[in-house]
Structure 1
Amino acid sequence: MTAGFGWGAIARLGLVQAAIGAIVVLTTSTLNRLMVVELALPALVPGLLVGLHYAVQLMRPRVGHGCDQRVRRTPWIVGGMAVLAAGGSLAALATAWMATQRGPGLALAVLAFVLIGLGVAAAGTSLLVLLAERVAAPRRAGAATLVWLMMIAGFAVTAGLAGRALEPYSPLRLVQVCTGVSLAAFCVALLALWRLEDGTPLPEAGARPPPQPFRQALAGVWADAEARRFTVFVFASMLAFSAQDLILEPFAGAVFGYGPGETTRLSGLQHGGVLTGMLLAAFAGRRHFGSLRAWTAGGCLASALALGGLVAAAAVGPAWPLRPNVFLLGAANGAFSIAAIGSMMRLAGEGSDARAGVRMGVWGAAQAIAFALGGVGGAAASDLARWLLGGALAPAYGSVFAAEAVLFVVSAVLATQVAPARRDWRLAAAPSH
């Protein structure tokens, strides 16, 4: 009998990841759109706020190191969820406050996004470490796939339901919806974690490394050449992915005339596409259709093509099939990301040091840096292009989408140098009993 968490416990962790995603998707997409369109703020403002919450996540390696030195992870996750829920509620309140008092609202938003970053770093990193430690090696890849799919499902469901709840839009309704989602997400996470670690032995005795200073542990992980190469790929691919994240909803609102509820549902459609792409890639893995490396590179190239479609959408206007295009972009993102997760789980558990927390923290920090630069860079580039083009919105957005497509092509090249083909798909396949 395999020690460690069974599939029921893994599904409970998936609920926690879905709860994290439910709060984050509203703060990084819906509030961004409201600031740019309804409040007429420069796109750089929400870009800086979201970039701030990613910058705070540079503490992920340190959190992971702390997790490596301790047995119980639940207090870290619960504490992180509490901070995240508070940040999500305050972010909505700050956005509503900006409509009447711009300065105080922005100051509160800064505090809110700092809390969001702290909460995601603490809860997210600790949850991944818990998976790596408490799930036996044969189940780790399937567990990662299941948890990730549940997170994307949380994105899609929350965006869709919140989009409907926000109509007709008002600042009060915004605060009510976001606060309700934050409280519900915290309660779901609390129930899912209840006594989860009690009585569950570690699947491998002696896996925990001896205590050592953080800098020494970090240096040991960075000395691994394969871990370094994977870190570079994570940074490049997430930079390409995140640059479109903050401008897609404003693009749909400004160029296609979508309202707040419609753009929120568009974001939900994109996340639904990500879910579909992940399932497709996992099914391909079960049937051994292609290697992990091929799906990673192919997903990056498909993402570049979908972004090329958005460039065409900016040129054509409302006649372009925007919703199918966005869905295809999400599916391509999902395909490459599930393949990358397979590599991540393998690399996290490799090595006799067993420092899964530090390894995941390093990759989480690389992703956070990429998302911070991508969010701020994408928003700033759209503002700059708009100024250079004399206020022309569609060409400004199209130029940013084109630059992101080039980044995805570069990521595809890097992907061919990251994951060797050996036994790839067994690491990314869907859970099996």
Structure 2
Amino acid sequence: ERLTQVAEIGGLITLGFGLFAVIGIEKRNAGTAPGKEKHSITFSQSVRLLSSSPKTLQFAFYIFISIFALFANEVVMDPFGAEVFGMPVSVTTKLFKPTMGGTQLVFMLLTGFLLSKIGYKRGAFFGNTFSAIGFAIITVAGFTLDMNLLRTGLVITGMGLGAASVSNISMMMNMTAGRSGIYIGLWGTAQSLAIFIGHSGAGIVRDLVYMLSGNHMFAYTAIFIVEIIAFTASSVVLPHISKEAFEKESHEKMLEYSQTAKAV
């Protein structure tokens, strides 16, 4: 009952913040700003715009693999502690969230303050690298049942997840080319799909590998290897992401659609 009350109060507070945040964003009965009409495109044109833009699809793919890597571990860490290390719920709750989650929160704040100096790409690369190293250490800790090594891995992973989260989300919010309605919608779709596949996919991989091997550690190792591959792939794609090239491509495509509309 107490937990239900906390959830309800938390939901109301969140709703209040959300409503407060949108106040004044758009004026009541506001007309279309001058010059906006000529850039308006239909939904079908938006879909064609996105599908015919290599830079746009490249960044959408980057967002997908990055967010997948960030969230795939969320549903497996506590079961990992229970099934591999034999920890009770009280121990996993005190270990994983405070250690990895706490470090992640600290580095989210730290990276947020430093992002203007180090840049999005450096922040993301730091996060991807530390996350991959952290999951490798956690894997070794699982095979050796070394609690100290596990704590080290959780801290390093938390550092990476915190830096990568802020850097990738900030990069996503800045890659709009003045077309927030189209591009934020696309990035949000890629993000939501990545979270869904990350959560459900991790569970499927865990169950499938355990069913075939009968070994809990092999099952979680498979998940951690997928995580490491995803973070590595994200780092490989990262240098090819260019805001300038993306904006140039977007401008050219919008110009193309504007000329087509005039011809019609």
TM-score category of the 2 structures, normalised to the smaller one: 0.7 to 0.9
In 1, distance between residues paired with 2:8 and 2:91?
Answer: 17
1:413 aligns to 2:236 (yes or no): yes
1:333 matches 2:161: yes
Per-residue CA deviations over 1:153-198 (Å, capped at 9, x if unaligned) read: xxxxxxxxxxxxxxxxxxx5544443343233224434x3474447
Q: How far, CA to CA, are the matches of 1:182 and 1:245 in structure 2? A: 21
The correspondence of residues 24-63 of structure 1 with structure 2, limited to 5 A, is: none
* d(CA) in 2 for partners of 1:206, 1:253: 61
Displacement of 1:261: 7.9
Taking a change above 3 Å as real, the CA distance of residues 331 and 319 of structure 1, as seen in their structure-2 partners, is closer
Q: 1:187 to 1:247 in 2, by over 3 A?
A: same
Write the mapping of 1:38-187 to structure 2, written as runs, cut at 5 A.
172-187=1-16
Change in 2 beyond 3 A, CA 1:337/1:308: same
2:136 maps to which residue? Answer: 308
Structure 2 vs 1, CA of residues 292 and 212 (structure 1 numbering), >3 Å: closer, same or farther? closer
Query: Does residue 253 of the first structure (1) align with residue 77 of the second (2)?
Result: no
Structure 2 CA distance, aligned partners of 1:197 and 1:260? 45
1:187–1:258: structure 2 CA closer, same or farther, 3 Å change rule? farther
Q: CA deviation at 1:206?
A: 4.0
What TM-score results when the alignment is normalised by the length of structure 1? 0.49
Q: 2:66 aligns with which of 237, 254, 258?
A: 237
1:383 pairs with one of 196, 204, 207: 207
Does residue 97 of structure 2 align to residue 274 of structure 1? no
Distance 1:188 1:347, change over 3 A: closer
1:215–1:271 distance in 2 versus 1, CA, 3 Å: farther
* Equivalent AA in structure 2 for residue 270 of structure 1: M
Partner of 1:127: none
SS state at 2:231 partner: helix
For the 8 Å contact 2:66–2:168, the answer to whether it is kept is no
Q: TM-score under structure 2 normalisation? A: 0.76
Matches within 5 A, 1:215-234: 215-234=44-63
Amino acid at match of 1:409: T
- Unmatched 5+ residue regions in structure 1? 1-171, 423-433
TM-aligned CA deviation for residue 240 of structure 1: 2.0
**Contact between 1:218 and 1:358, CA under 8 Å: does it hold in 2?**
no
The alignment partner of 1:244 has SS state of: coil
| Per-residue Cα deviation, 1:185-220 (whole angstroms, up to 9, x for no partner) | 224434x347444769x9xx5474555421212322
CA RMSD, Structure 1 to Structure 2 (Å) = 3.2
Query: After superposition, what is the alpha-carbon deviation per residue over 1:282-337, rounded to whole angstroms, capped at 9, x for unaligned?
Result: 44444x44x53333223212211111122122212262343443232122122223
- Counterpart position of 1:296: 124
Quickly say closer, same or farther: Cα 1:325–1:223, change in 2 above 3 A: same
Q: Secondary structure at the match of 1:320?
A: helix
The equivalent of 1:400 in structure 2 is 223
Q: How high is the sequence identity, in percent, across the aligned residues?
A: 25
Higher helix proportion: 2
Aligned equivalents of 1:177, 1:316: Cα separation in 2: 40
Query: Structure 1 residues 193, 278: CA separation in 2 closer, same or farther (over 3 Å shift)?
Result: closer
Measure, in 1, the Cα distance between the counterparts of 2:186 and 2:11: 27
Given that residues 298 and 412 in structure 1 are in contact (C-alpha distance below 8 angstroms), is that contact kept between their aligned partners in structure 2?
no
Per-residue CA distance 1:7-55 (angstroms, 9 max, x = gap) = xxxxxxxxxxxxxxxxxxxxxxxxxxxxxxxxxxxxxxxxxxxxxxxxx
1:362 paired residue number: 186
Distance 2:112 2:145 in 1: 35
* CA pair 188-261 structure 1, distance change in 2 beyond 3 A: farther
Between the aligned partners of 2:164 and 2:61, the Cα distance in structure 1 is 15
Shift in Å, 1:237: 1.4
Check conservation: 1:270, 1:330, Cα contact below 8 A: yes
Could you say what secondary structure the match of 1:397 adopts? helix
Task: Structure 2 unaligned segments of length 5 or more: list them.
Answer: 246-264
Residues 312 and 398, structure 1, Cα contact 8 Å, conserved in 2: no
The residue type equivalent to 1:326 in the other structure is L
Q: Is the aligned partner of 1:213 residue 2:76?
A: no
Q: Any runs of at least 4 consecutive aligned residues in structure 1 with deviations exceeding 6 A, and if so which?
A: none
